């Protein structure tokens, strides 16, 4: 009999549900929340309220698109954390209730594990191209910047991570401070494509080992713009493409320097990326070009699987389910990685 898994993701500001059958995706529905736009960042309380409104229609739509009835489900996978506690509570409570009412197993998933396994989402009729183990995943999002060594679907180790801001935060905060828009990553990506990345350069941090830091480069850009604006108030307006291109290039250089170091240290040449920032066109093309130079096998998830989605939670949950993992109904969500 087929294993049909319903995945539920609600860790931040996207409510998502997906259905997979024996590892193949049948549906992936995502309701993004527009309510945060006016605030320039995710407002946790508004996010949980929006999840409450979205969760039933999103799950119903995912089941309908997949052509699956609740009674056909084998198990329910859900994001337990890390993320915003109120948001996680909605998905977790819903998953628990459904599992109880259908009398089927519940399987908890670490959100980050979903991102690192995004390349394993299979779709009927599409060629299968998956990294072999062990591989390195550069996990870059609004909340994380990590290099993860993945030894099997269920075994992973964080070998480098940010000591302050995440790279997505650097994109978002700078864009907000410069009045360019929210979320900052896609805005800066678009402007950077029209600019000269070599005209402005920003200081890179010197952090030992494989760890990252992004708060210094953010400050470097903002102070530079402030000083130039004091001399010429139209500086930002006249130079925003070049500024974005230089800033984005600096962030990508920082990410790549440590990834190259990690590959050399571990001898691993299977390289993947994941998380919202892996949608960045500059980062994607740079990973491919570095990979060609360094004989890496590089794997880039499709755009739709880079940001938060339940397909990756369902696939991670499927592996956990196959391994025999079951989550008790008294499980509570956790906001921090360390509490998982
Ligand atoms: O994984 P994700 O959806 O969730 C969070 O961890 O919040 O990542 C969101 C992050 C935001 O910081 C957003 O600015 C960034 O991903 N992002 C991008 C791009 N698209 C989304 N950053 C750079 N370039 C992009 N094209």
Q: Identify whether residues 250 and 323 lie together within a single domain.
A: no
Percent of the chain with pLDDT over 70: 100
Q: What was the pLDDT predicted at 144?
A: 85
Tokens of 193: 């494509």
Residue 150 forms beta bridges with which residues?
Answer: 135, 156
* 129 lies in some domain: no
Tokens of 115: 């991102």
Region 168-195 average pLDDT: 94
Range of the domain at 241: 135-300
Say if residue 40's pLDDT is above 80: no
Q: Identify whether residues 142 and 269 lie together within a single domain.
A: yes
Ligand 1 atom 14, closest CA: 185
Q: Are the beta carbons of 129 and 323 closer than 8 angstroms?
A: no
Pocket-testing residue among 12, 41, 171, ligand 1, by greatest number of atoms within 8 A of Cβ:
171
Looking at the CA of residue 144, tell me the nearest atom of ligand 1: 6
Q: What was the pLDDT predicted at 326?
A: 98
Looking at the CA of residue 282, tell me the nearest atom of ligand 1: 24
Report CA torsion sign: 233, 238, 241, 242.
negative
Percent of the chain with pLDDT over 90: 92
Region 6-14 average pLDDT: 96
Looking at the CA of residue 306, tell me the nearest atom of ligand 1: 1
Residue 21 forms beta bridges with which residues?
Answer: 4, 24
Ligand 1 pocket check for 13: Cβ under 6 Å: no
- Using DSSP's 3-state secondary structure scheme, residue 279 falls into helix
**pLDDT of 16-33, one tens digit each?**
999 999 999 999 999 988
Q: Identify whether residues 257 and 326 lie together within a single domain.
A: no
* pLDDT interval class at 42 (50, 70, 90): confident
Ligand 1 atom 16, closest CA: 276
Q: What was the pLDDT predicted at 101?
A: 98
Q: What was the pLDDT predicted at 183?
A: 87
Looking at the CA of residue 190, tell me the nearest atom of ligand 1: 26
Q: Identify whether residues 155 and 114 lie together within a single domain.
A: no
* pLDDT interval class at 39 (50, 70, 90): confident
Ligand 1 pocket check for 277: Cβ under 6 Å: yes
Distance CA 227, CA 154 (A): 49
Say if residue 240's pLDDT is above 80: yes
Q: What was the pLDDT predicted at 338?
A: 84
Q: Identify whether residues 154 and 216 lie together within a single domain.
A: yes
CA of 150 to the centre of ligand 1 (A): 22
Q: What was the pLDDT predicted at 143?
A: 84
Q: What was the pLDDT predicted at 33?
A: 85
Ligand 1 pocket check for 114: Cβ under 6 Å: no
Region 86-105 average pLDDT: 98
Residue 217: CA count within 13 A, CB half-sphere = 31
Q: Are the beta carbons of 77 and 7 closer than 8 angstroms?
A: yes
CA of 33 to the centre of ligand 1 (A): 14
Q: What was the pLDDT predicted at 142?
A: 86
Distance CA 121, CA 131 (A): 12
Q: What was the pLDDT predicted at 290?
A: 97
Q: What was the pLDDT predicted at 38?
A: 80
Cis? peptide before 73, omega within 30° of 0: no
CA of 142 to the centre of ligand 1 (A): 5
Q: Are the beta carbons of 113 and 97 closer than 8 angstroms?
A: no
Ligand 1 pocket check for 33: Cβ under 6 Å: no
State the total domains in the chain: 2
Tokens of 176: 């907000």
Q: Identify whether residues 292 and 313 lie together within a single domain.
A: no
Q: Are the beta carbons of 182 and 37 closer than 8 angstroms?
A: yes
CA of 132 to the centre of ligand 1 (A): 26
CA of 328 to the centre of ligand 1 (A): 32
Q: Are the beta carbons of 62 and 310 closer than 8 angstroms?
A: yes
* 126 lies in some domain: no
The conformation of residue 18, written as its DSSP 8-state character, comes to E
Distance CA 198, CA 293 (A): 21
Alpha helix (H) residue ranges in the chain: 44-66, 85-102, 111-116, 167-177, 184-192, 215-231, 235-266, 281-294, 310-322
Looking at the CA of residue 183, tell me the nearest atom of ligand 1: 14
Say if residue 209's pLDDT is above 80: yes
Report CA torsion sign: 155, 159, 165, 171.
negative
Q: What was the pLDDT predicted at 328?
A: 98
Q: Identify whether residues 170 and 258 lie together within a single domain.
A: yes
Q: Distance of CA 265 to CAs 139, 201, 255, 257, 292, Å?
A: 18, 28, 16, 12, 19
Q: Identify whether residues 115 and 153 lie together within a single domain.
A: no
Distance CA 112, CA 144 (A): 9
Count of beta carbons in the 10 Å neighbourhood of residue 136:
24
Region 148-152 average pLDDT: 98
CA of 171 to the centre of ligand 1 (A): 8
Alpha helix (H) residue ranges in 232-280: 235-266
CA of 183 to the centre of ligand 1 (A): 7
Tokens of 233: 């108030």
**pLDDT of 307-321, one tens digit each?**
899 999 999 999 999
Tokens of 159: 């070998």
Q: Identify whether residues 269 and 200 lie together within a single domain.
A: yes
Q: Identify whether residues 174 and 320 lie together within a single domain.
A: no
CA of 168 to the centre of ligand 1 (A): 5
Average pLDDT over the chain, rounded to an integer: 96
Ligand 1 pocket check for 183: Cβ under 6 Å: yes
Q: Identify whether residues 282 and 310 lie together within a single domain.
A: no
Q: Identify whether residues 226 and 150 lie together within a single domain.
A: yes
Say if residue 174's pLDDT is above 80: yes
* pLDDT interval class at 182 (50, 70, 90): confident
pTM attached to this predicted model: 0.94
Distance CA 18, CA 274 (A): 18
Say if residue 41's pLDDT is above 90: no
The conformation of residue 60, written as its DSSP 8-state character, comes to H
Region 46-68 average pLDDT: 97
Report CA torsion sign: 318, 320, 321, 323.
positive
Ligand 1 atom 8, closest CA: 276
Q: Distance of CA 258 to CAs 21, 224, 296, Å?
A: 37, 25, 15
Ligand 1 pocket check for 282: Cβ under 6 Å: no
**pLDDT of 102-119, one tens digit each?**
999 999 999 999 999 999
Say if residue 337's pLDDT is above 90: no
Ligand 1 pocket check for 279: Cβ under 6 Å: yes
* pLDDT interval class at 65 (50, 70, 90): very high
């Amino acid at each position: 009999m087929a294993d049909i898994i319903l995945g539920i993701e609600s860790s931040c500001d996207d409510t998502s549900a997906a259905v997979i059958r024996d590892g193949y995706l049948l549906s992936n529905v995502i309701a993004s929340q527009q309510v945060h736009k006016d605030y320039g960042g995710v407002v946790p309380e508004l996010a949980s309220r929006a999840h409450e409104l979205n969760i039933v229609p999103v799950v119903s739509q995912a089941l309908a698109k997949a052509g699956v009835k609740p009674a056909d489900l084998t198990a329910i996978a859900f994001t337990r954390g890390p993320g915003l506690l109120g948001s996680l509570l909605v998905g977790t409570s819903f998953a628990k209730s459904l599992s109880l009412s259908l009398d089927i197993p519940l399987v908890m998933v670490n959100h980050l594990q979903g991102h690192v396994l995004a390349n394993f989402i299979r779709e009927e009729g599409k060629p299968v191209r998956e990294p072999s183990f062990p591989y390195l995943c550069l996990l870059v999002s609004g909340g994380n910047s990590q290099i993860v060594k993945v030894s099997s679907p269920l075994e992973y180790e964080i070998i480098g991570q940010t000591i302050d801001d995440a790279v997505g935060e650097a994109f978002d905060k700078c864009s907000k401070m410069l009045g360019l828009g929210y979320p900052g990553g896609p805005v800066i990506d678009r402007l950077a494509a029209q600019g000269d990345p070599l005209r402005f350069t920003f200081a890179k941090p010197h952090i030992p080992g494989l760890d990252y830091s992004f708060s210094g480069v953010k400050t470097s850009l903002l102070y530079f713009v402030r000083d130039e604006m004091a001399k010429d108030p139209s500086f930002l307006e006249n130079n925003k493409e070049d500024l974005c291109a230089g800033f984005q290039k600096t962030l990508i250089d920082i990410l790549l320097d440590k990834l190259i170091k990690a590959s050399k240290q571990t001898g691993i040449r299977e390289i993947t990326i994941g998380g919202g920032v892996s949608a960045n066109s500059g980062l994607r093309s740079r990973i491919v070009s570095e990979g060609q130079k360094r004989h890496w096998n590089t794997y880039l998830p499709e755009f739709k699987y880079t940001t938060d989605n339940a397909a990756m939670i369902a696939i991670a949950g499927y592996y956990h389910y196959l391994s025999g993992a079951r989550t008790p109904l008294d499980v509570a969500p956790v906001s921090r990685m360390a509490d998982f």
